Chain A
Amino acid sequence: MSRYRLWFWGCFVLFFAGLAVASQLALALVAEADEVGPSMTQLGQLSIEQLENVEITSVAKRPQPLSQAAAAVFVITAEDIRRSGATSLPEVLRLAPNLEVARINAFTYTISARGFNSPESSNKLLVLIDGRSVYSPLGGTIFWQGIDVPLADIERIEVISGPGGTLYGANAVNGVVNIITKSSAGTQGLLASMGAGSEDSGMYVRYGGALQGFATYRAYVKAFHRDDTDPVSALDMTQDSFSGAQAGFRLDGGVGRETFTVQGDLFGNRVKDSYEKLWGGDMLARWGHAFDDGSSLSVQAYWDKSDRDAVLLQDRLQTYDLQAQHTFSLGASQQIVWGGEFRVWREALFSQSPFHFLNPSATLTLGNAFAQDDIALSENLKLTVGTKAEYNSYSGLDVLPNVRVAWEPRKDTLFWAAISRAVRTPSRIDRELIAPGILIAAPHFGSEQLTAFEAGYRGEILSKVSLSVSGYYNDYNDLRSDQYAVPDIFPVQLQNHLNAKTYGVEVWGTYSPADWWRLRAGFNSFQRSLSLDPQATDLTETQTAGQDPPYQAQLRSEMNFGSDWELDLDLRNVAHVKTPALVSFVPQIYRTVAVTPSYTEADARVGWRFASGLELSLDGINLLHSRHLEFNDPSSYPPRSIQRSVFVTLKAAL
């Protein structure tokens, strides 16, 4: 029992006491009004545009039909997040059957789509929070320990597996995670939640209000603590317990045909004993204009600061980004979107280890222009063609085209296919990292290239069954390899001599046996073959290829008992991860050793709405085993086991 836990239980008692007083006062104030009265009075303060933005979080509502996108898209809704019992963003992403999510320790994760998953190699996934990219130019990865979004504020997360280069730019190679938060019009009033359990505790308070007929706002504070995970090795003495706090706001408004959003956040997170410390903030402004002819223009600017102190290194990053896009119709059958973006990354990395940058500071710039046309060839056949030209100050110009076809022979049945090109641009580590006698800089390291072929089906087979199936064949060239600059003599240099072909299938579906019961299932398989250019070697033995299970499966059951009780069960299986086989001189025995054993885990949640606006839930996470390992790569982080845990949450909406 740490002192933090004591504080949290203290908070819990305070929370109940405060709530009791508050609800009495509130009841006295609204006693004469009908039960829904206060709500409708507040709704009445919203403008008609704001009303359209209010999100409905109705339990009875079925998930919305997916957009008619010709891509493998899985949408995580606000309701899915609420019912998942997840306490962090990466845990929420486990809901997407088209992602690989592996928890490394108490504070971080490695997440990828369609392979290449490891802290070193998961550099082909783009993550956007309300249009703000959190992709790090340092190593091309995502530092999940420095990314937090209040889960109750998320409207939906669109998880696209497959390339999204044409619309999202470079590094959207294997997928895009697009996190969209609710308009503040949909988060009016007070929401408070408090949770504590065997491994985690957290609290969250949000208040939203309206500025009469003009704008709405919300502000929040949150804090969390996660306990240590279990070391796998007896020699691992590190403690990785993780805590942090974050605060932020969002303002949305509109006058006539203009709409605007301004939002910002501040955070500070810390791993025990300052093993890793992260802090920073962001500010984003977006302006939209709707023209009389139905076309629309949006302009967005953001600033993001993300600093990190780890053992022997200090990383300072600031991002400035400006982008604009214009959407319009051409004739009756064409919908065109075009736009451009300019970004500046200013980074400084100070290292006290032999691995360092000759010049700690760098300014990277990026600029792009894109256009995409959706053409209705006939009533049920749609062709999408688009391309983006993107320039970056490291490797110059990349062209990222795609062609997509969607055929909807009848309502709720969509077949689609796509061919796209995407690139992963060089990171600072690829180009600049040096270590005397070991590694020399690679000023000519170029972009990693992908040509992707995909096809899929999405539809409702019977009235109660919906299904999505997608398959892909990815052809990668110029992936990162390590080789001697001069044959057989150190130092080595990073070069682009590894090639890969990957293929796989992603399937998910839902089935509702009854009004009160829904079943969901997801599965993905992944295969690959690797090859090197003639005369090339890869000394790190396919570290670039990542650690990917050949398949993953998940099953979820969501039950409602009356309008007050919910029972959710989740079962998932992740196959064992083997060392990728590449170089023939590695003995067979090492190639087939499981790096991470397969595991099966289950979660359960009971939710109870015991009074209007009050919800209590009990979560059991990783119930099947006292501990399990999800990721094992001692070169990046000491391997840690994730424990079973239970968690109680009280949520109040007033």
Chain B
Amino acid sequence: MLRRWRTGIVIFAAITAFSAFTPAMSAGVALDREIKGTFLYKFAPFVTWPDSAFAAPNAPLVICILGDPGLADSLQGAIAGQHDGNRPLVIRAVSRASADCQVLYVPGQDASSAAAAMAAAKGRPVLTVTDLPVDAAGHGVICFVIDQGHVRFDIDNAAAAENGLTLSSKLLGLARVVITKGALP
């Protein structure tokens, strides 16, 4: 019996020491924010932008985050040196919708600021992403939802087509709900 506890302590001490050298996950309350941030560049391989979206074949893929410079900073740290194909990934914190973005994320539940950004991006080759539900005014092409304690997303494929984007069937398959044309309110 005593030996069992002793073994437990040794394992415990070993793992505790090991952990010091491991980049690990903080158990902060903002985990959903971090997951959403990570999704932003994980979407890229499943999206085809028209050539007109980029100045050059090896121009960077620019991910813009509206109104959350903290998230943009952390994301920049996380993706340093990464590419989408031959395009380097660039994160930019912006205060209003910009034409230079290929991905535009508008965090939060403020429908009016999201609607303004969506209007500015409409018809341009921008993958818009919001936290608003897919049936709400001001929602983006991709809409994050918290479902059963997980970050999931819904897709408005009509809005994607309107912006000249093609989303892969795999991405559509991963979405919780996909809205195609005609289903919009």
Binding site for B on A (CB under 8 A): 3-4, 7, 10-11, 14-15, 18-19, 21-23, 25-26, 29-30, 33-44, 46-49, 51-61, 64, 77-78, 155-156, 188-192, 203, 205, 207, 209, 221, 223, 243, 245, 256-257, 270, 290, 292, 294, 563, 612-613, 653-654
Asked whether B23 lies within 8 Å of A38 as measured between CB atoms, the reply is yes
The verdict on B157 contacting chain A, using a C-beta distance below 8 Å, is no
A18-B16, A37-B77, A205-B11 known; A58-B23 Cβ under 8 A = no
User: How many A-B residue contacts, CB cutoff 8 Å?
Assistant: 194
The closest CB in chain A to the CB of B22 belongs to A190
Asked whether B25 lies within 8 Å of A189 as measured between CB atoms, the reply is yes
Complex alpha-carbon distance, A623 and B139, angstroms? 50
A-B CB proximity, top 6 nearest: A189-B24, A653-B27, A25-B20, A40-B78, A189-B25, A18-B16
Residues in B with CB closer than 8 Å to A49 are: 174
Residues in A with CB closer than 8 Å to B171 are: 48
Residue from the set B6, B21, B38 with the largest chain A CB neighbour count within 10 Å: B38
Asked whether B21 lies within 8 Å of A25 as measured between CB atoms, the reply is yes
Asked whether B13 lies within 8 Å of A40 as measured between CB atoms, the reply is no
Chain A nearest CB from B37 CB (Å) reads 6
Chain A nearest CB from B174 CB (Å) reads 6
Residues in A with CB closer than 8 Å to B75 are: 40
Q: Mark B1-27, 1 if CB is under 8 A from A, else 0.
A: 110111011011101111111111111
Complex alpha-carbon distance, A612 and B82, angstroms? 28
Residues in B with CB closer than 8 Å to A35 are: 26, 28
Asked whether B22 lies within 8 Å of A58 as measured between CB atoms, the reply is no
Residues in B with CB closer than 8 Å to A4 are: 1, 5
Asked whether B24 lies within 8 Å of A42 as measured between CB atoms, the reply is yes
Complex alpha-carbon distance, A55 and B147, angstroms? 10
Residues in B with CB closer than 8 Å to A190 are: 15-16, 19, 22, 24
The verdict on B30 contacting chain A, using a C-beta distance below 8 Å, is yes
19 contacts between A and B (CB under 8 A): A4-B5, A7-B2, A15-B16, A21-B20, A22-B17, A38-B24, A39-B28, A52-B151, A52-B152, A56-B31, A57-B31, A61-B32, A77-B149, A189-B25, A190-B15, A245-B4, A257-B173, A653-B26, A654-B22
Asked whether A612 lies within 8 Å of B5 as measured between CB atoms, the reply is no
The closest CB in chain B to the CB of A257 belongs to B173
Asked whether A51 lies within 8 Å of B16 as measured between CB atoms, the reply is no
The verdict on B70 contacting chain A, using a C-beta distance below 8 Å, is yes
A29-B21, A38-B24, A43-B38 known; A48-B150 Cβ under 8 A = no
The verdict on B99 contacting chain A, using a C-beta distance below 8 Å, is no
The verdict on B29 contacting chain A, using a C-beta distance below 8 Å, is yes
A14-B9, A54-B31, A207-B15 known; A41-B149 Cβ under 8 A = no
Chain A nearest CB from B143 CB (Å) reads 14
The closest CB in chain A to the CB of B76 belongs to A34
Asked whether B8 lies within 8 Å of A221 as measured between CB atoms, the reply is yes
Q: Knowing that A34-B77, A43-B25, A58-B30 are A-B contacts, what are 5 other residue pairs whose CB atoms are under 8 Å apart, sorted by A's residue number?
A: A22-B16, A44-B82, A54-B35, A56-B35, A58-B31
Asked whether A192 lies within 8 Å of B12 as measured between CB atoms, the reply is yes
Asked whether B150 lies within 8 Å of A53 as measured between CB atoms, the reply is yes
The verdict on B110 contacting chain A, using a C-beta distance below 8 Å, is no
Asked whether B15 lies within 8 Å of A613 as measured between CB atoms, the reply is no
Residues in A with CB closer than 8 Å to B5 are: 4, 7, 11, 223
Complex alpha-carbon distance, A276 and B21, angstroms? 42
Q: Which of B146-169 contact A (CB under 8 A)?
A: 146-152, 169
Complex alpha-carbon distance, A60 and B31, angstroms? 11
Q: Mark B95-119, 1 if CB is under 8 A from A, else 0.
A: 0000000000000000000000000
Asked whether A54 lies within 8 Å of B150 as measured between CB atoms, the reply is yes
Chain B nearest CB from A271 CB (Å) reads 12
Asked whether A44 lies within 8 Å of B150 as measured between CB atoms, the reply is no
Asked whether B2 lies within 8 Å of A3 as measured between CB atoms, the reply is yes
Residues in B with CB closer than 8 Å to A29 are: 20-21, 23
Residue from the set B23, B35, B170 with the largest chain A CB neighbour count within 10 Å: B23
Residues in A with CB closer than 8 Å to B77 are: 33-34, 37, 40-41
Complex alpha-carbon distance, A84 and B39, angstroms? 32
Residues in B with CB closer than 8 Å to A221 are: 8, 11-12
Q: Mark B60-89, 1 if CB is under 8 A from A, else 0.
A: 000000000010011101110010000000
Residues in A with CB closer than 8 Å to B2 are: 3, 7
Residues in B with CB closer than 8 Å to A37 are: 74, 77-78
Asked whether A60 lies within 8 Å of B150 as measured between CB atoms, the reply is no
Residue from the set B74, B149, B171 with the largest chain A CB neighbour count within 10 Å: B149
Asked whether B26 lies within 8 Å of A18 as measured between CB atoms, the reply is no
Q: Which of B128-153 contact A (CB under 8 A)?
A: 146-152
Residues in B with CB closer than 8 Å to A15 are: 12, 16
Chain B nearest CB from A309 CB (Å) reads 16
Residues in B with CB closer than 8 Å to A56 are: 31-32, 35, 146, 149-151
Q: Which of A19, A25, A155, A290 makes the CB contact (< 8 A) with B173?
A: A290
Asked whether A52 lies within 8 Å of B26 as measured between CB atoms, the reply is no
Residues in A with CB closer than 8 Å to B34 are: 36, 39-40, 43
Chain A nearest CB from B145 CB (Å) reads 11
The closest CB in chain A to the CB of B6 belongs to A7
Asked whether B31 lies within 8 Å of A26 as measured between CB atoms, the reply is no
Residue from the set B12, B21, B75, B173 with the largest chain A CB neighbour count within 10 Å: B12
A21-B17, A25-B21, A189-B22 known; A55-B28 Cβ under 8 A = no
Residues in A with CB closer than 8 Å to B38 are: 40, 43-44, 46, 51
Complex alpha-carbon distance, A22 and B42, angstroms? 32
Asked whether B78 lies within 8 Å of A41 as measured between CB atoms, the reply is yes
Residues in B with CB closer than 8 Å to A33 are: 77
Chain A nearest CB from B147 CB (Å) reads 7
Asked whether B24 lies within 8 Å of A292 as measured between CB atoms, the reply is no
Residues in B with CB closer than 8 Å to A53 are: 150
A37-B77, A41-B77 known; A64-B147 Cβ under 8 A = yes
Chain B nearest CB from A563 CB (Å) reads 6
